[in-house]
Amino acid sequence: MEHVMPKRNAISRFILTFLRTMSGNPRVMVLIEPSRAYERALLRGIAHYSHLHGPWIFSREAPFWERSPHRTLLDQMAAVDGVITRESPDLSTILKLGKPTIVSNVATERIGGLPNIVSDHTAIGRMAAEHLIERGFRNFAFCGYVNLFWSDQRCEGFRNRIREDGGLVHVYGASQSRRRLSWKKELPLVTDWLKSLPKPVGLMACIDERSQQLADACQSVGIAIPEQVAIVGVDNDDMICTLSTIPLSSVATDAEKGGYEAARLLDTLMKGRRSSQKFIQIKPTHIVMRTSTDIMAAEDPHVSKATKYIGDRCRYPLYVDEVARVAGLSRRVLEKRFRAQLDRSVNGHIRRCRVHLIERLLTEDNMTIAEIALFMGFPDAAHIARYFRQETGISPAGYRRQHHLVNS
């Protein structure tokens, strides 16, 4: 699918810049619906850029009750300076205006001729796999949607990461039909598939909406979540994840930063400057763990007790002897069982849990690094920085810069 933006010559760029200077703030048409967490995050990033570097005057497509058959989308956009839009059937019409345009793709992997907002779907799949591996699962499954490139790429990232540990992934078979079914028709197929999976199983859903469907299907046939099936989705949509009967874990992304970077690029283009940037990439940041994966898939009850204690108290400094006492085993025996069940040491598991909590605080909270250090029981920012770098290869400040908005 190729769309090519009409080229402006130097004179037209000069005229556009002059008119904008005379008329005031840039006018930007944003055709992104705020119905999902991903889109809302993009909009927050766009708005943040506007507040810092504008303000911009935003326009959106008129709601259906205000639309006139005599006034088309093209008419509404005649006075705008730039456009940020989701991929839609109207894209060709929008591009006829010759305005600087950035598109967030949905059904097409790459839309040529203009910058794309894209997600690193392979990395998203890998992060979900690593979360389930760390939870101790040895059986894995993936459930996506048919004919959607991003679902297929998330599946591939998930499968490749599991294969690196010698595991296999059971992929929902209805996707092989290459046709989309209504949920009413698909429900019995999904429940049969869920019942056939080896238990306990760590299951990735391609998106939070799919997670909710899977959770409903499990409950309809008495499959326990997370004891038999642990589910992790994508996008961390609070409206879906927390309103589900079983709160759902999810891969969070830096979509807000992506919206900010898209606005920055659009600003460059509206000023008549050239840019070679072809896409804005949105990356996964961390797992937001809720009930649907809040379990360690360890058959040994002593190991399970130890991991629960670590998970509950990972904001505090923990010692292996302390964990061994809680588990009711000697340190030597607990270490041996930990390696047999989870392929890691007790201290290694403690450090992982603490680092994951630090990552969440860096991306989800406005606490300073010094405040996070005190919260986590470190004496100062230097100690937490050294600890975090040893585990991740990056400083806390560097991690926050990677995943937060650029504020200048």
Q: How confident is the model at residue 22 (pLDDT cuts 50, 70, 90)?
A: very low
Indicate whether 126 and 90 sit together in one domain: no
Residue 20 has pLDDT above 90, yes or no: no
Across 123-136, b (16+ Cβ under 10 Å) vs e yields: bbbbbbbbbbbbbb
Distance CA 341, CA 290 (A): 22
Within a domain: residue 408? Answer: no
Share of residues in the chain with pLDDT > 70 (%): 88
Q: Which pLDDT score, from 0 to 100, does residue 89 have?
A: 82
For residue 114, CA distances in Å to 3, 85, 107, 390, 392 come to 7, 11, 16, 40, 35
Q: pLDDT tier at 341 (50, 70, 90 boundaries)?
A: confident
Q: Tell me, what's the pLDDT at 64?
A: 57
- The average confidence (pLDDT) of the chain is 88
Whether 306 maps to a domain, the answer reads yes
**Residue 10: predicted pLDDT:** 52
Interaxial angle between packed helices 396-403 and 346-364, expressed in degrees from 0 to 180 and rounded to the nearest 10:
50
Q: Do 134 and 248 have their domain in common?
A: yes
Q: How confident is the model at residue 53 (pLDDT cuts 50, 70, 90)?
A: very high
90 is a domain residue = yes
> Residue 268 has what pLDDT?
95
* Domain presence at residue 241: yes
CA distance 180 to 145: 8
**What pLDDT, in 10s, does the model give residues 108-121?**
888 888 999 999 99
Residue 357: which residues within 8 A CB-CB, separation 6 or more? 314, 315, 376
pLDDT value, residue 405:
61
Q: Is 5 among the domain residues?
A: no
Residues 316 and 243 in one domain: no
pLDDT confidence of 1, banded at 50, 70, 90?
very low
Write the burial class of residue 325 (CB in 10 Å: 0-12 exposed, 13-18 middle, 19+ buried).
middle
Examine the pLDDT at 401 and tell me if it is beyond 90: no
Rounded distance, CA 142 to CA 155, Å? 7
> Taking 70 as the threshold, does the pLDDT of residue 345 lie above it?
yes
| Residue 158 or residue 65, greater confidence | 158
In terms of domains, do 375 and 328 share one? Answer: yes
Residue 35 domain-assigned (yes or no): yes
Confidence grade of residue 54 (pLDDT, cut at 50, 70, 90): confident
Tens digits of per-residue pLDDT, 27-38?
A: 999 999 888 999
Give dist(CA 93, CA 74) in Å, integer.
Answer: 7
**Six-digit token string for 352:** 């992982």
Mean pLDDT of 217-238: 95
Q: Tell me the mean pLDDT in the region 91-117.
A: 88
Q: Is the pLDDT of residue 270 over 90?
A: yes
Distance CA 264, CA 354 (A): 35
Task: Please tell me the predicted confidence (pLDDT) of residue 72.
Answer: 65
Of 75-84, 200-209, 384-393, which range is least confident? 75-84
Backbone phi, psi, residue 112, to 5°:
-75, 155
Please state the domain count of the chain.
3
Are the beta carbons of 32 and 142 closer than 8 angstroms? no
**Contact of 250 with 234, CB cutoff 8 Å:** yes
Separation CA 270–CA 268 (nearest Å): 6
CATH code of the domain covering residue 356? 1.10.10.60
Question: Would residue 360 count as lying in a domain?
Answer: yes
Looking at residue 178, its pLDDT comes to 57
Indicate if the pLDDT at residue 319 is higher than 70: yes
Q: Which residues constitute the domain of residue 398?
A: 301-403
Label residue 100 left, alpha or beta by phi (over 0 means left) and psi (-120 to 50 means alpha): beta
Say if residues 257 and 403 touch (Cβ distance below 8 Å): yes
CA 288/CA 321 separation, integer angstroms? 29
Is the pLDDT at 84 greater than 70? The verdict is yes
Based on the fold, state whether residues 80 and 139 are members of the same structural domain. Answer: no
Closest CA to 226 of 244, 206, 203: 203
The listed range with the strongest mean pLDDT (61-65, 78-82, 316-320) is 316-320
E-assigned strands of 260-399? 279-282, 284-288
Q: What's the average model confidence in pLDDT over 395-402? A: 90
Listed as own residue / partner, the contacts of 84-92 with beta carbons closer than 8 Å and 24 or more positions apart are: 84/28, 84/29, 84/30, 84/31, 84/32, 84/46, 84/262, 84/263, 84/266, 85/29, 85/30, 85/31, 85/32, 86/31, 86/32, 86/33, 86/39, 87/111, 88/31, 90/31, 91/3, 92/3
pLDDT of 299 reads: 77
Q: How many CB atoms lie within 10 A of CB 319?
A: 12
- Banded pLDDT at 232 (limits 50, 70, 90): very high
Query: Is 22 found in the same domain as 129?
Result: no
Q: How far apart are the first and last CA of the chain?
A: 35
Q: Is residue 1 part of a domain?
A: no
* DSSP structure string for 198-245: -SSEEEEESSHHHHHHHHHHHHHTT--TTTTEEEEEES--HHHHTTSS
- Asked whether residue 4 carries a pLDDT value surpassing 70, the answer given is no
Q: Which helix (H) or strand (E) holds 248?
A: none
Pair type for strands 249-253 and 279-282: unpaired
The CATH number of residue 28's host domain is 3.40.50.2300
In the three-class reduction of DSSP (H, G, I as helix; E, B as strand; rest coil), residue 378 is classed as: coil
Cβ–Cβ < 8 Å for 107, 120: no
| Same-domain pairing of 139 and 63 | no
Q: Would you say the pTM of this structure is higher than 0.75? A: yes
The tokens describing 59, both together, are: 């326009």
Q: Say if residue 247 is preceded by a cis peptide, omega within 30 of 0.
A: no
Query: 53-62, 180-189, 373-382: which has the highest mean pLDDT?
Result: 373-382
Looking at the predicted structure, is the pLDDT value of residue 266 above 50? yes
Residues 90 and 165 in one domain: no
CA distances from 15 to 83, 171, 189, 293 (A): 19, 55, 60, 57
25 plus 71 within the same structural domain: yes
